[in-house]
Amino acid sequence: MTIETIEVEGLSTPVSRIGLGTWAIGGWMWGGTDEKDSIAVIRRALDSGVNLIDTAPAYGFGASEEIVGKALADGYRHKAVIATKVALEWQDGKVFRNASPERIRHEVEDTLRRLRTDYIDLYQVHWPDPLVPIEETAAVLDDLRKEGKVRALGVSNFSAAQMDAFRRVAPLSTTQPPYNLFERDIDRDVLPYVKQHGLVALAYGALCRGLLAGRIGAETRFEGDDLRQHDPKFRAPRRQQYVDAVKALDVFARDNFDKSVLALAVRWVLDRGPTIALWGARRPSQLDGLEAAFGWRLDDKAFAQIDAIVSQFVKDPVGPEFMAPPQRVLVS
């Protein structure tokens, strides 16, 4: 299988245009995890040519990074481009933003230990922190880059103006926004900014929390602490609109490209610009179909037909705003 790659400023290795997303591997908000399966899926991804492994300390309160570290032991580290994040803190199972230089300095050491490595390929600010000037956050991250602990810098969930503020202080290589067939807010400003300034966008939620995999129906149930129990897209009656749209998109994909809706959803992200689609999986079987995303393209006519299908069925659209963590409350 030949996987498309893309150059990322600051990294010497071309990066696969599909990256393995490991939020679910951390277990928290996804109904638990299985370490053996998680290690197996990471190694299968690497053996398949997917070299970007995207993780974060907040994914399972360190669990995801620890599992990634175990998976990359025994000779796998050289195959991987590790993208992790910083600037979220947690207490009593609740996450909030903290992008202070002190927090970042503390976090990077914990992350390096959990990942069992002495450098991070791509270090991303997980969410902007309104209580800390972006310039301060960028400055300490640039220091880490100069010290060799970090190779390249990125941000996540930043606006174009916030990226501008970051870039005034430190080199910025990537941004990581939510982006998929159903969640397209970045088309207005973030994606044009990415194209203008030579960045790369890592699209998280490329399959919209599994909706675009084509296996979720109106009656599908989610157990434990699965975040989809609280996702407005998965609540009646709105869920039926999205399920019907997925069915219609699947018919379109099969009739026009002999592909599944899953392959169509990933290809849609890849053909929107300098993008990488993050593919979440926690069992090896969930990587089946990777190769179907490559070797073909969508043209303007196909984009227009896809837009028409989404508009036909989704009459009450909603974004991913429910996932945003709160900011800290400072006590005077």
The answer to whether residue 81 scores a pLDDT higher than 60 is yes
Alpha-carbon distance of 93 to 110, in angstroms, equals: 18
Looking at the domain assignment, is residue 202 inside a domain? yes
Could you tell me the CA-to-CA distances from 195 to 152, 163, 187, 200, 203 in Å, in that order?
18, 13, 11, 8, 14
Alpha-helical (H) ranges within 190-313 are 190-197, 238-257, 261-270, 300-313
pLDDT at 331: 45
pLDDT at 226: 76
pLDDT at 40: 92
Q: How far is CA 105 from the centre of its chain?
A: 23
The answer to whether residue 32 scores a pLDDT higher than 60 is no
Residue from 63, 68, 74, 136 nearest 104 by CA: 136
Q: What is the mean pLDDT of residues 91-114?
A: 92
- Is residue 241 classed as helix, strand or coil in its secondary structure? helix
Looking at the domain assignment, is residue 119 inside a domain? yes
pLDDT at 272: 97
Range from 204-213, 221-230, 239-248, 276-285 carrying the lowest mean pLDDT: 221-230
Give me the active site residues, please: 59
- What are the structure tokens assigned to 111, written together? 């992350």
Looking at the domain assignment, is residue 221 inside a domain? no
Pairing of strands 5-6, 150-156: unpaired
Q: What is the mean pLDDT of residues 102-119?
A: 97
Q: What is the mean pLDDT of residues 183-196?
A: 97
Looking at the domain assignment, is residue 49 inside a domain? yes
> For residue 56, what is the domain's CATH number?
3.20.20.100
Confidence of residue 330 (pLDDT cuts 50, 70, 90): low
Looking at the domain assignment, is residue 193 inside a domain? yes
Q: What domain range is 72 assigned to?
A: 5-213+268-291
DSSP class per residue in 42-97: HHHHHHTT--EEE--TTTTTTHHHHHHHHHHTTTTGGG-EEEEEE-EEEETTEEEE
Q: Give the N- to C-terminal CA distance of the chain in Å, as an integer.
A: 57
Neighbours of 310 (CB within 10 A): 19
The answer to whether residue 326 scores a pLDDT higher than 70 is yes
Q: What is the mean pLDDT of residues 12-39?
A: 81
Looking at the domain assignment, is residue 230 inside a domain? no
Looking at the domain assignment, is residue 251 inside a domain? no
Q: Is the peptide bond before 237 cis (omega within 30 degrees of 0)?
A: yes
Alpha-carbon distance of 277 to 18, in angstroms, equals: 5
Number of domains in the chain: 1
Looking at the domain assignment, is residue 120 inside a domain? yes
Confidence of residue 218 (pLDDT cuts 50, 70, 90): confident
pLDDT at 31: 52
Range from 34-48, 109-123, 146-160, 258-272 carrying the lowest mean pLDDT: 34-48
78: which residues sit within 8 A by CB, 6+ positions away? none
Segment 35-73, tens digit of pLDDT: 889 999 999 999 999 999 999 998 888 899 999 999 999
Confidence of residue 332 (pLDDT cuts 50, 70, 90): very low
C-beta of residue 293 within 8 angstroms of C-beta of residue 267: yes
Alpha-carbon distance of 200 to 130, in angstroms, equals: 24
